[in-house]
A and B are shown apart, each in its own frame.
Chain A
Amino acid sequence: MSAAAADGSPDIDRIFTALADPTRRLVLEVLGERRECSASAIARETPVTRQAVVKHLTVLDEAGLIEGRRVGREVLFRVRPEGLRAAAAWMTDQAAAWDRRLRRLKELAEAPTADQGHNHTSSHGPGESRRRTS
């Protein structure tokens, strides 16, 4: 089945690749709403052919974002939240990195500079080319 399930750890890049396609995101959203449904049922709710839905489901499955089980002649799919959680954690980390960078920017900007004495003093030369840090 899914590559992600094989070793238990979500494959972050596959997840992002899967999420990059708007149609696949739509398929995933429909699955999320319906809890469990077949490719045919998804095709009925989206402007996508059943054949295309099956292809998208395969990619989502390989990314570990969904899983399927056979019921009679049909395969029913449902969302695996673990995959999305891993992707969300990765994004959270990217956001935290920017928080740190912005805090450092703030400290740097608010620190007194040699020509300024204090950060509240008013205007000084043109901002474009003033900075020399070496």
Chain B
Amino acid sequence: MDDNYDSESYDRIERQIMINATLDRVWDLVSTPGWWVPTKAEEPVVRTPGHQAVRHNETYGRFVVEVVSIEPKTYAAFRWASQFPNEELAPGRTTLVEFRVEPGDQGVNVSVVESGFASLDAPEAQRKAGFEHNTEGWKLEMDVLKEQAEGAATA
């Protein structure tokens, strides 16, 4: 059978990366709510389940990221509405983003699973906006983040 009919693949993404840094350092970054949305407007990092962090991105707007579950140095889960910039979280708008960190011989393995795409209740225009947002936008914004981070590191 054609693997195109594997329906799970339309709901869920899983990626991972190996990072050569201490578990503490990796965990600190990974468990920061919304770290993947570059922002210049820093707010205090709160990791309490239920807390909603707000990340303002100059190009794409405001994203709310809710802390779902935290197991220190092991697992962090968040909800966000990537296809609904500037809107609040609501049923049918959010996906679940789960990070797992695991130290090994080669470094710290970080995996991310984002799920719930199939049940997003988005008009086509918004999903397309999300598409463009993700393809074109992240690279530029990540560079901003890098400058920021490097600036902070040497300050």
Sorting the interface of chain B by its residue count into under 10, 10 to 19, 20 to 34 or 35 or more gives 35 or more
User: Which residue from A102, A113, A134 sits with its C-beta under 8 Å from B110?
Assistant: A102
* B25 pairs with A85, CB closer than 8 A: no
- Which residues of A86-134 are within 8 A (CB) of B? 87-88, 90-91, 93-114, 116, 119, 122-134
A59 beta carbon closer than 8 Å to chain B: no
Which residue on B lies nearest to A11, using beta carbons? B124
Q: Is residue B146 contacting chain A, with contact meaning CB distance below 8 A?
A: yes
Q: A19-B7, A29-B5, A32-B5 are in contact. Are A127 and B149 (CB under 8 A)?
A: no
Number of interface residues of A (CB under 8 A): 59
Q: Which chain A residues lie closer than 8 Å to B2 at the CB level?
A: 32, 81
Residues on A close to B: CB < 8 A?
Answer: 11-14, 16-17, 19-20, 22, 25, 28-29, 32-33, 79, 81, 84-85, 87-88, 90-91, 93-114, 116, 119, 122-134
- A106→B99 CA distance, assembly (Å): 14
Which residues of B lie under 8 Å from residue A101 when comparing CB positions? 36, 112, 138, 142
Task: Known contacts A16-B10, A16-B118, A106-B19; decide if A98 and B112 are in contact (CB<8 Å).
Answer: yes
Q: A91 to chain B: which residues have CB within 8 Å?
A: 9-10, 13, 117
Q: How far is the CA of A25 from the CA of B19 in the complex (A)?
A: 37
| A22–B60 alpha-carbon span in the complex (Å) | 33
Q: Mark interface residues in B133-155 (1 if CB within 8 Å of A CB, else 0).
A: 01100110010011011101111
CB <8 Å contact, B142 and A110: no
Q: Render B1-24 as a binary contact track against A, CB cut-off 8 A, 1 for contact.
A: 110110101110101111111111
Interface of A is mostly: helix
Which of A25, A124, A125 is the one whose CB lies under 8 Å from B7?
A25
Say yes or no: B110 contacts A105, CB within 8 Å.
yes
Q: Judging by beta carbons under 8 Å apart, are A100 and B9 in contact? A: no
Cβ contact within 8 Å between A13 and B127: yes
Verify A111–B5 contact, CB threshold 8 A. no
The interface residues of chain B lying within 8 Å CB-to-CB of A128 are 28, 47, 72
Which residues of A have CB within 8 Å of B117?
Answer: 16, 91, 94
- Whether A105 lies near B15 (C-beta < 8 A) is no
Among B20, B27, B148, B154, which residue has its beta carbon within 8 angstroms of that of A133?
B148
Q: Are B120 and A84 in contact (CB under 8 A)?
A: no
